[in-house]
């Protein structure tokens, strides 16, 4: 099943465009793609006519070009006949925005469109979904472009049963400087499911990390997902909803999913080294960290700070998330102390956490990171940088990035996410070093690495 036609289409038909309601989902989708994306978009309405000085086609057969994809935004009872049109026209796949299927008890109607899909090998996303956001190619979200915030193009592939969660997560990704290769809202996932997306993303050269928001699986579907995840060579992050009895009921009414036993799900994810995020904050941190460091760690963290208080907070957070902060080798500390500036040599706390104090300068930080990287008791470094310190330059992010590249040991930085410190943050981000906006966020990034393959 070739899904490139869906995720990187050259031509598309938007079915259901209204001549009287310009805020209709089909109108929003058509206008957005017609004006802002390279995909050639055709508007379809059985009444025909003209829309925004573009031909409004009565049916797909009238469209003079081959179609890679169709976006279906009509009443649910008309969807089967539209799919039949698509198959007859030779359309290669569809996004079904329309709701009113199994999520509202109309199981037979959903089974009908699945039957049509299976008989013709016609893949579709949905129904009851937002569909596809593919940077530089297509956007089927029926949300006005001026209302939503989209992340830059990047290496995270994200799949969500909920369109709202997907859009909200995209806002968080954008705020943290995380880019996506493709984001897909699969809704009721009547045809394309998480397992299909997992297979596609693994073969996509533009995707390095695969993330999921999952409400539940149909019978036997969860087992297939786990087996496929075990074989996947790329890091996988999952945020699971439906953990409580009330949440299970809510998931069922939302996308007609069987939420199942959460404890069993969580244990299986851990067994197969899938990084399970407890909430959207963890999901964001995990994705950023794994997009930079796809290989796992044992979880022995070396903490470097310019503030004793921040170091203590980091140790507490590490302990809470089952990360170790082992004692650093005596010879490592001796080398670091020998090379520190005279001003801090006697006042720095040479332990784990390593507190260089607010009097440290760039060379003190660089020296410490270099030699912590060479200590085999440590497999990841947290650098808690306090940019208010007078001796810290705007180049510290770029300088530390060079050390990480030379030494090869993962480093996660903490820098307050303020415009004033943007140049420091960019020094890390441009060199693929993850930067957290809080101490907790930095620890969560390290936690992601511990939960990822290899265990």
The partner residues of 412 in beta bridges, in order of sequence, read 382
pLDDT digits (tens, 9 = 90+) for 10-19: 999 999 999 9
Structure token pair of residue 221: 């579907």
Average pLDDT over residues 170-186: 95
Average pLDDT over residues 178-195: 96
pLDDT digits (tens, 9 = 90+) for 394-450: 999 999 999 999 999 999 999 999 999 999 999 999 999 999 999 999 999 999 999
Residue 281: CB atoms within 10 Å: 14
Average pLDDT over residues 84-105: 96
At residue 190, what are phi and psi to the nearest 5 degrees? -70, -30
- What pLDDT shows up at residue 455? 43
Between CA 187 and CA 198, with CA 192 as vertex, the angle to 5 degrees is: 105
Give which of 401, 335, 398, 412 is closest to 368, Cα–Cα.
Answer: 335
pTM, to two decimals: 0.91
Sign of the Cα pseudo-torsion (320, 324, 326, 328, in order): negative
Which domains, from first to last, does the chain contain?
1-128 (3.40.50.720), 149-292 (3.40.50.261), 296-451 (3.40.50.261)
pLDDT digits (tens, 9 = 90+) for 299-338: 999 999 999 999 999 999 999 999 999 999 999 999 999 9
Q: Does residue 256 surpass a pLDDT of 90?
A: no
60 burial level (CB within 10 Å; 0-12, 13-18, 19+): buried
Residue 112: CB atoms within 10 Å: 15
Q: Does residue 251 surpass a pLDDT of 70?
A: no
User: How far lies 307's CA from each of 313, 357, 388, 389, in Å?
Assistant: 10, 5, 11, 10
Where does the pLDDT of residue 254 fall: very low under 50, low under 70, confident under 90, or very high at 90 and above?
A: very low
Runs of H (alpha helix) within 128-279: 163-175, 194-203, 221-231, 245-255, 262-271
Contact 363, 341 (CB under 8 A): yes
pLDDT digits (tens, 9 = 90+) for 330-365: 999 999 999 999 999 999 999 999 999 999 999 999
- What pLDDT shows up at residue 271? 85
Q: Does residue 163 surpass a pLDDT of 50?
A: yes
At residue 324, what are phi and psi to the nearest 5 degrees? -90, 145
Average pLDDT over residues 375-393: 95
- What pLDDT shows up at residue 453? 56
Where does the pLDDT of residue 167 fall: very low under 50, low under 70, confident under 90, or very high at 90 and above?
A: very high
d(CA 95, CA 70): 6
- What pLDDT shows up at residue 315? 98
Q: What is the mean pLDDT of the chain?
A: 93
Strands 180-185 and 153-160: parallel
Q: Count the alpha carbons within 13 Å of 442 in the hemisphere toward its beta carbon.
A: 31
């Amino acid at each position: 099943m070739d899904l490139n036609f869906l995720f990187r289409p050259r031509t598309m038909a938007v079915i259901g465009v209204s001549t009287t309601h310009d805020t209709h989902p089909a109108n929003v989708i058509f206008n957005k793609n017609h004006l802002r994306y390279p995909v050639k978009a055709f508007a379809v309405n059985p009444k025909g006519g003209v829309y925004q000085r573009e031909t409004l086609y009565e049916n797909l057969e009238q469209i003079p070009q081959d179609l890679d994809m169709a976006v279906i935004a009509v009443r649910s009872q008309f969807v089967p006949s539209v799919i039949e049109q698509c198959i007859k026209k030779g359309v290669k796949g569809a996004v079904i925005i329309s709701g009113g299927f199994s999520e509202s008890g109309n199981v037979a109607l959903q089974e009908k469109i699945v039957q049509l899909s299976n008989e013709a090998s016609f893949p579709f996303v949905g129904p009851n979904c937002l569909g596809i956001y593919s940077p530089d190619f297509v956007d089927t979200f029926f949300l006005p472009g001026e209302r939503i915030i989209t992340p830059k193009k990047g290496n995270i592939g994200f799949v969500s049963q909920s369109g709202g969660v997907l859009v909200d997560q995209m806002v968080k990704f954008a705020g943290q400087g995380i880019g996506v290769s493709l984001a897909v809202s699969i809704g009721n996932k009547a045809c394309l499911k998480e397992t299909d997306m997992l297979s596609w993303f693994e073969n996509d050269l533009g995707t390095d990390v695969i993330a999921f928001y999952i409400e539940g699986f149909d019978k036997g579907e969860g087992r297939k997902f786990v087996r496929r995840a075990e074989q996947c060579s790329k890091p996988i992050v999952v945020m699971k909803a439906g953990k409580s009895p009330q949440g299970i009921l809510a998931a069922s009414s939302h996308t007609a999913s069987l939420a199942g036993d959460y404890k069993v799900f969580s244990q299986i994810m851990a067994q197969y080294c899938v990084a399970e995020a407890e909430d959207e904050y963890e999901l964001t941190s995990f994705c950023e960290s794994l997009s930079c460091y796809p290989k796992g760690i044992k979880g022995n963290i070396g903490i470097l700070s310019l503030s004793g208080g921040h170091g203590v907070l980091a140790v507490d957070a590490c302990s809470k998330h089952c990360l170790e902060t082992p004692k650093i080798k005596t010879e490592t500390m001796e080398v670091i102390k020998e090379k520190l500036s005279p001003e801090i040599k006697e006042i720095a706390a040479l332990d784990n956490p390593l507190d260089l104090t607010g009097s440290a300068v760039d060379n003190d930080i660089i020296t410490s990171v270099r030699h912590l990287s060479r200590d085999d008791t440590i497999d990841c470094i947290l650098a808690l940088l306090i940019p208010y310190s007078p001796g810290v330059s705007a180049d510290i992010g770029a300088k530390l990035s060079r050390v990480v590249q030379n030494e090869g040991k993962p480093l996660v930085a903490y820098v307050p996410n303020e415009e004033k410190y943007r140049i420091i943050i960019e020094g890390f981000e441009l060199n693929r070093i993850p930067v957290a906006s809080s101490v907790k966020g930095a620890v969560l990034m390290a936690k992601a690495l511990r939960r990822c393959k290899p265990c």
